[in-house]
């Protein structure tokens, strides 16, 4: 086989132009809709804060309580760290792909290109795109209800509908300012969440040493009694699943690449911040929380959804006898929930608009207005958000419906993250098969293709762990009916993804599983760098290489 072909920027541009015209002929009726462009208004600081604090939400502040009760502090520390490493490699793979192909829709279009890019037979792209869009579509009204419930920590007399209306109006107002509004709001909210995490670490150390409250010196007392691990392997697997869902939304930094002013600079930096969020805001916070909160505390059994009264962070502060800080922490939890709702508007609208452009969603939704906003997608999302008012139904019947709606999104993230890693693996293999030098890639993550393999395997393990916990829950006091209901609610997303995939395959009549590596279009719309302008890199010590990968 011939050695890697040295292709310069000018050659790539010529190939890109010819490739575009040939693919347009192939698309036929499903050719991209002529449209305005998304406004590139996200600055480097926006992406940095989206990456640092974007996924810090109820999964950390509330869901970690259920994780602590399920598996104990040892399981929490190990599982969150392992899933964090998986997300670090996933984000690095997404960063490389987004820098070379900074397109609206990000990993959705990467799946089309590298897994099955013949647009009439997009097996994975269609299922992944709609699975991701449905996830955010359903999460928005749920988060509006969740934010309203956190307000009831202070006042339970005001109807929840009042707060739902208020939060919905705020979200609608943010959309008027387009992607810049999303970026600024997330930047501010992320700063608040990060400050809260830092403050809790300091406070937790103070509580643990016995400097406040009447608990005395705690040290590692709760790791011995009731113990570091609970409920055996079932408990560990249960924490593994809870930890996985806590990192949902991490991929938004890659989705925002198409609206970044300089994606080749800002996206790699943003994805590197994932390491610090994992190491500092998750691992260290949860380690401190496990030192000052008993895992067998019965109050933790209610730590799900938006029940901030059962948040281990709030409970730990209350147990220390501190009067004001529980209210401040509840305020942070409310902000975190609103942040997730704000992110859902971005995730849904950009994904559906990209799908509409290639005929996988109604073409009506492909329209981008003169201000670079996909307003038609936004209107659809806000109309669906009105379902939040069913939370007012008596006897919690509305929330029961939401449990089943959320079940549709269950393990969808594992398919999405796994597809990102698989797309990156096939991208690298296609580069090798087609004789293109890896030096053309502007940003190459330190983990390389092996990091994507590790993350792909972990995503498979997450699916297995989810299935195991669905058929064998950690808490053994559940009835048969409750176990069956829990199984379908926990794993319903898998048949939904298969139905989406099978439905599109039947419609298109194409049953090819993936495109041959030599046939993958690597050049159309690619932002490769010119080899002639690349300066030879000096060999650095290993410690400098590691630091360069993290900063």
pLDDT in tens, 205-231: 999 988 887 888 888 888 988 888 888
Which CATH class name applies to 9-550? mainly alpha
Which range is least confidently modeled, 98-107, 208-217, 323-332, 376-385? 98-107
- pLDDT higher than 60, residue 443: yes
pLDDT at 54: 65
Residues 275-319: tens digit of each pLDDT = 777 777 788 889 999 999 888 888 887 655 556 667 888 888 888
Question: Taking the model in full, what pTM does it have?
Answer: 0.79
Residues 478-504: tens digit of each pLDDT = 666 666 776 776 777 777 777 766 766
Closest CA to 440 of 100, 1, 122: 100
List, as own/partner pairs, every contact residues 492-496 make where C-beta atoms lie below 8 angstroms and the sequence separation is at least 24, other chains included.
492/404, 492/407, 492/408, 492/410, 493/131, 493/407, 493/408, 493/409, 493/410, 493/411, 493/412, 493/415, 494/410, 494/411, 494/463, 496/131, 496/134, 496/408, 496/412
Side-chain half-sphere exposure of 43, counting CA atoms within 13 A: 5
pLDDT at 175: 84
Residue boundaries of the structural domains of the chain = 9-550
pLDDT at 258: 65
Which range is least confidently modeled, 28-37, 273-282, 406-415, 421-430? 28-37
- Say which residue, 466 or 379, is predicted with more confidence: 379
Residues 165-175: tens digit of each pLDDT = 998 898 888 88
- Average the pLDDT over 242-264 and give the result: 74
pLDDT at 24: 42
pLDDT at 122: 44
- pLDDT higher than 70, residue 159: yes
- Say which residue, 474 or 238, is predicted with more confidence: 238
The whole-chain average pLDDT of the chain stands at 76
- Average the pLDDT over 323-344 and give the result: 85
- pLDDT higher than 50, residue 18: no
- pLDDT higher than 90, residue 453: yes
- Residue 42 is given by DSSP the state B
Query: In degrees rounded to 5, what are phi and psi of residue 331?
Result: -65, -40
- pLDDT higher than 60, residue 340: yes
Proportion of the chain above pLDDT 70, given as a percent? 71
- Residue 532 binned pLDDT confidence (cut-offs 50, 70, 90): low
- Average the pLDDT over 241-248 and give the result: 79
Cβ contact 320:215 at 8 Å: yes
Closest CA to 107 of 252, 212, 207, 218: 252
CA distance 69 to 72: 6
CA distance 156 to 102: 46
* Residues whose CB falls within 8 Å of the CB of residue 27, separated by 6 or more in sequence, listed in order: 119, 120, 358
- pLDDT higher than 50, residue 15: no
User: ω into residue 226 within 30 of 0, thus cis?
Assistant: yes
- Say which residue, 271 or 159, is predicted with more confidence: 159
């Amino acid at each position: 086989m011939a050695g890697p072909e040295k292709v310069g920027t000018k050659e790539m541009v010529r190939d890109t132009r010819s490739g575009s015209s040939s693919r347009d002929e192939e698309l036929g009726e499903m050719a991209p809709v002529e449209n305005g462009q998304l406004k590139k208004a996200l600055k480097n600081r926006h992406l940095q804060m989206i990456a640092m604090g974007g996924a810090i939400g109820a999964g950390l502040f509330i869901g970690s309580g259920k994780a602590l009760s399920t598996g104990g502090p040892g399981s929490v520390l190990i599982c969150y760290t392992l899933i964090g490493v998986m997300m670090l490699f996933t984000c690095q793979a997404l960063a490389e792909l987004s820098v070379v192909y900074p397109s609206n829709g990000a990993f959705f279009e990467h799946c089309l290109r590298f897994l099955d890019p013949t647009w009439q037979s997009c097996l994975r792209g269609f299922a992944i795109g709609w699975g991701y869009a449905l996830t955010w579509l359903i999460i928005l009204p749920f988060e509006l209800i969740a934010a309203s419930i956190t307000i009831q920590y202070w006042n339970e007399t005001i109807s929840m509908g009042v707060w739902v209306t208020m939060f919905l109006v705020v979200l609608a107002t943010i959309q008027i300012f387009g992607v810049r509004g999303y970026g600024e709001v997330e930047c501010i909210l992320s700063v608040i969440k990060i400050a809260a995490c830092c403050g809790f670490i300091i406070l937790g150390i103070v509580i643990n040493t016995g400097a406040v409250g009447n608990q005395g010196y705690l040290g590692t007392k709760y790791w011995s009694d009731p113990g570091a691990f609970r409920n055996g392997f079932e408990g560990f697997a249960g924490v593994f699943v809870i930890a996985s869902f806590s990192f949902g939304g991490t991929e938004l930094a890659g989705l925002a690449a198409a609206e970044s002013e300089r994606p080749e600079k800002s996206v790699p930096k943003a994805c590197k911040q994932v390491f610090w969020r994992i190491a500092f805001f998750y691992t260290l916070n949860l380690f401190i929380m496990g030192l000052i909160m008993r895992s067998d505390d019965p109050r933790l059994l209610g730590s799900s959804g938006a029940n901030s009264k059962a948040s281990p962070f709030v409970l730990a502060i209350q147990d220390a006898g501190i009067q004001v800080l529980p209210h401040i922490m509840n305020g942070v939890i409310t902000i975190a929930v609103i942040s997730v709702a704000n992110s859902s508007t971005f995730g849904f609208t950009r994904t559906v608009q990209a799908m509409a452009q290639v005929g996988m969603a109604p073409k009506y939704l492909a329209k981008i207005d003169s201000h670079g906003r996909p307003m038609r997608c936004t209107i659809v999302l806000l109309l669906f958000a009105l379902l939040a008012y069913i939370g007012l139904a008596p006897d919690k019947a509305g929330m029961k419906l939401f449990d089943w709606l959320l079940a549709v999104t269950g393990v969808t993230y594992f398919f999405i993250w796994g597809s990102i890693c698989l797309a990156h693996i096939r991208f690298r293999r296609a580069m090798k098969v087609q004789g293109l030098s890896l030096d053309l890639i502007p940003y190459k993550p330190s983990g390389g293709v092996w990091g994507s393999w590790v993350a792909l395997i972990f995503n498979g393990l997450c699916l297995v762990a989810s299935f195991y916990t669905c058929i064998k829950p950690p808490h053994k006091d559940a009835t048969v009916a409750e176990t069956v209901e829990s199984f379908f609610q926990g794993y319903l997303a898998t048949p939904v993804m298969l139905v989406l995939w099978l439905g599109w395959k039947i419609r298109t009549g194409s049953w090819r599983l993936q495109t041959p590596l030599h046939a993958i279009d690597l050049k159309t719309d690619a932002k490769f760098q010119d080899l002639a302008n690349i300066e030879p890199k000096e060999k650095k010590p290993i410690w400098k290489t590691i630091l360069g990968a993290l900063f």
